[in-house]
Amino acid sequence: MKALFFHLSILGISMAPWLHAASTDTNRLEEPPQLSQAAVQNAFQLLRSEYIRANELDHSTLGRAALRGLLQELDLGASLIRNADALRPAVAEGLISEKLTTTLAYARFQSFSPKEVQSFRERLKTYAEQNVQDLILDLRSPAMPGEFDIAAAILECFVPEGELMFKLKQAQTERAQLFISHQKPVWAGSSLLLIDEDCCNLAETIAAVLKHRGQAILIGTSTRGATVRFETRPLDAAWSIRYARAEMQLPDNSSLFGQGLTPDFPIGLPTGMKRQLFAADRRMSLRESFAESQRARYNEAALVNRRNPELDDFILRSAGLDSASSPKAPKDQVLQRAVDMVLARSVFEQAQLKWDTAAPKQTTTIRKAIQAP
């Protein structure tokens, strides 16, 4: 079926009429049959000679259509890029990091550059010294594909020295390059990783390795599965082709290419809103991107001051003016849920609840007294 679709797309022929006819005829299949190579070649010859606009099917048109169909078939494996875009940085550089509470820190790579990796390692050391217990690592930046040495350097902050982190298997060879941790980890606390379809190959590798090792919880939406090393070759003065040359594999030889990661806690955020928030993160505190402002209420203090903030708020909204309850800037709901999970866990831990403990004796005595006739 894929072969027929592909070859017909080369000729610029739409399959919609064929599918419509097939759906109305109960004696025909709902999809094209699996044709032999000879049948496909015969179809090409007939169309190139007897198609009503066969003169338009020159070699240049067929070549471009064939490449377009092949790239669509390969999906994440290959793509065309403009040479000018390849040289232009897609995102800003610099590690975004901040302590959200006394025991919770946040960090996000923007371009996965070596400088960011060095800053990240230093920040983790500082957080560990400050008794920070939880880390939210945001991997949702739309960074360009990078080299796996960067991913290995980031993972060395978490993985014990001497342990295999992942492999990189080159095309058309059985040998694989092994990435082993060569440094002592600097972070031993819990890690929550934020992921989505914008994750680059390095971000997906970091999330996959830490998830595979049981060292992280994934929050967000599914990733694309672009865990490959890309190589870029120029085609002409204007265009280059980027294609997968090597594939990342976990220590158990499993691969995520084309499959991606599924979050443990799924929650989404529109891409446009996320990028708007990311741009604002460089100008304001991260708290503003997830913390909700408290609405003023009519309480005892307001009664003493002879004011009713709820009434004032209603009057402003009725006049079409901004008030305390008016919609504010959008919030990063994914980050909000991650912070909620950490805070909720700390509440349970501090409460020291004993779920399997029997009821106190006085409670049992009272219950018997109530049930007595």
Domain-wise residue ranges, the chain: 2-57, 96-271
Q: How confident is the model over 299-311, as a mean pLDDT?
A: 66
For residues 112 and 223, give the distance between their C-alpha atoms in angstroms, rounded to a whole number.
17
- Return d(Cα 370, Cα 293) in angstroms, integer: 47
The string of DSSP letters for 204-257 reads HHHHHHHHHTT--EEEES------EEEEEEE-SSSEEEEEEEEEEE-TTS-B-T
Residue type, 312: D
| Residue where the block lists tokens 């005892």 | 300
Residue 136 pLDDT greater than 50, yes or no: yes
Name the most confidently modeled range: 113-127, 231-245, 333-347. 113-127
Could you tell me what percent of the chain has a pLDDT over 90?
A: 37
What is the mean pLDDT of the segment spanning 290-316? 65
Q: Amino acid identity of 156? A: E
In the structure encoding, which two tokens stand for residue 21, read together?
A: 């006819």
Q: What are phi and psi of 54, to 5 degrees?
A: -60, -25
DSSP classification of residue 295: P
Helices and strands per DSSP (H, E), number in the chain:
14, 11
CA 45 vs CA 38, 41, 54, 68, 312: distances in Å: 11, 6, 10, 21, 79
pLDDT tens, 200-220?
Answer: 999 999 999 999 999 999 999
Quote the radius of gyration of the chain (alpha carbons, Å).
Answer: 29
Q: Which helix (H) or strand (E) holds 180?
A: strand 176-180
Q: Residue 215: what residue type?
A: Q
pLDDT, greater one: 70 or 341: 341
- What does DSSP assign to residue 264? S
Domain with residues 96-271, CATH architecture = Alpha-Beta Complex (3.90)
pTM above 0.75, yes or no: no
pLDDT at residue number 17? 34
Q: Which amino acid, 54?
A: A
pLDDT reading at 352 higher than 90 = no
Give the pLDDT of residue 190.
93
What is the Cα–Cα distance from 212 to 255, expressed in whole angstroms?
A: 11
Q: Which amino acid is at 357?
A: T
Read off the pLDDT of residues 84-134 as tens digits, 9 standing for 90 and up. 776 655 567 889 999 998 999 999 999 999 999 999 999 999 999 999 999
* pLDDT tens profile 259-301: 999 999 999 888 888 888 888 766 567 777 666 666 666 566 6
* Sign, CA torsion 213/219/222/223: negative
pLDDT for position 113: 92
